[in-house]
């Protein structure tokens, strides 16, 4: 009479052991980064996972992250997949930009399997020519945020150097020219992911505004200065991408259908930091 319970326990133990040993394919829900009212890219992160040996982890073990990015374009009521990129790591849709005119893909993506960490690098995939990543060195350069200009000719980055304890120093604003792969650097006293810090391009790409708690910096014609007139909102940082439009989403996979959000209004120009408002 005791054989059946023992058999059930043994079967359960074997099942749990297998789930902790066998890696299985998994993926996150597709997200949409909108470029225009006719084009967007979808971002889907894929990985392998298995149950953790430690039940206190509260999640599965994950490895071998990749990202599939698809360019979708609307032709009347038809949605067409025009191009696909396979990215060899994880990426976040907030940091994926496809320029609707020069048709370059610009994104931050992981260096390893630490999903959502600061272990990231910038990659640029132009329509013509070779793709490239930044930085090649040093390995301990951290990129907090990127923002490509509305005309697609410059990429602003907030960077710092990290040590083994993730203490940051040498904060900089870097402006990268994708055509030459060269960057110009400007020193910053500090940076953190708080609303008191941010950056935003002017609509004509001539000025980059950088918000700090006590002043607004600008980069114009290659020179760093202070501004007496600046946007009343610092998000989105540019004119395209996930945060530049209201929510876009996939309505159906078969047949493929997508709902593109509307572009957010340009900010008002103000003269007092106290007038800067929370972005909608």
Domains of the chain: 23-275 (2.130.10)
Q: What is the mean pLDDT of the chain?
A: 90
| Mean per-residue pLDDT, 243-256 | 93
Of 61, 125, 128, nearest in space to 98 by CA: 125
pLDDT of residue 247: 93
pLDDT of residue 5: 52
Predicted pLDDT at 14: 45
The total of other beta-carbon atoms located within 10 Å of residue 184's CB is 14
Distance of alpha carbon 132 from alpha carbon 177, whole angstroms: 12
Alpha carbon of 242 to those of 40, 97, 252, 257, 265: distances in Å? 9, 8, 19, 18, 14
Please give the structure tokens belonging to residue 140.
């301990």
List pLDDT tens digits, range 40-58: 999 999 999 998 877 766 6
Residue 199 has pLDDT above 70, yes or no: yes
pLDDT of amino acid 58 = 65
> What is the pLDDT confidence band of residue 135, given thresholds at 50, 70 and 90?
confident
Task: Yes or no: say if 258 and 249 are a contact pair by the CB < 8 Å rule.
Answer: yes
* Span 139-196, pLDDT tens digits: 789 999 999 999 999 999 999 999 988 899 999 999 999 999 999 999 999 999 888 9
With tokens 């006590």, the residue in question is 214
Residue 202 gets which letter from DSSP? -
Rounded to whole angstroms, how far apart are CA atoms 155 and 160?
16
Question: Tokens at residue 163, please?
Answer: 């040590």
Percent of the chain at pLDDT > 70 equals: 91
Tokens of 31: 């997200």
pLDDT of residue 59: 76
94: CB partners within 8 A, 6+ apart: 33, 241, 242, 243
**pLDDT per residue over 13-41, tens digit each?**
444 456 677 999 999 999 999 999 999 99
The label of the residue with tokens 């893909």 reads: 105
Residue 189 CB neighbour total at 10 angstroms: 7
Report whether 224 contacts 217 (CB < 8 A).
yes
The proportion of the chain whose per-residue pLDDT surpasses 90, expressed as a percent, equals: 79
């Amino acid at each position: 009479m005791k054989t059946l319970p023992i058999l059930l326990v043994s079967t359960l133990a074997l099942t749990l052991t297998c789930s902790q040993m066998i890696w299985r394919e998994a993926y996150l829900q597709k997200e949409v980064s909108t470029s225009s009212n006719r084009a967007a890219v979808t971002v889907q992160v894929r990985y392998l996972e298995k149950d953790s040996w430690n039940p206190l982890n509260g999640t599965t073990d994950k490895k071998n992250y990749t990202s599939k990015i698809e360019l979708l374009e609307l032709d009347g009521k038809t949605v067409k997949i025009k191009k696909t990129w396979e990215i060899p790591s994880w990426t976040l849709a907030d940091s994926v930009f496809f320029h609707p005119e020069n048709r370059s893909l610009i994104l931050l993506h992981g260096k390893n399997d630490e999903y959502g960490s600061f272990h990231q690098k910038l990659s640029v995939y132009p329509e013509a020519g070779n793709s490239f990543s930044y930085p090649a060195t040093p390995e301990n350069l951290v990129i907090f945020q990127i923002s490509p200009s509305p005309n697609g000719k410059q990429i602003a980055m907030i960077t710092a150097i990290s040590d083994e304890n993730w203490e940051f120093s040498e904060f900089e604003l870097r402006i990268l020219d994708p055509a030459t792969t060269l960057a110009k650097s400007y020193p910053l006293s500090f940076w953190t992911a708080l609303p008191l810090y941010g950056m935003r391009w002017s609509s004509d790409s001539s000025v980059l505004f950088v918000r700090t708690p006590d002043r607004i910096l600008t980069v114009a014609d290659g020179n760093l200065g202070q501004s007496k007139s600046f946007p009343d909102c610092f998000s989105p940082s540019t004119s395209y991408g996930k945060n530049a439009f209201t929510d876009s989403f996939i309505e159906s996979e078969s047949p493929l259908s997508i709902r593109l959000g509307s572009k957010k209004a340009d900010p008002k120009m103000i003269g007092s930091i106290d007038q800067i408002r929370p972005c909608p």
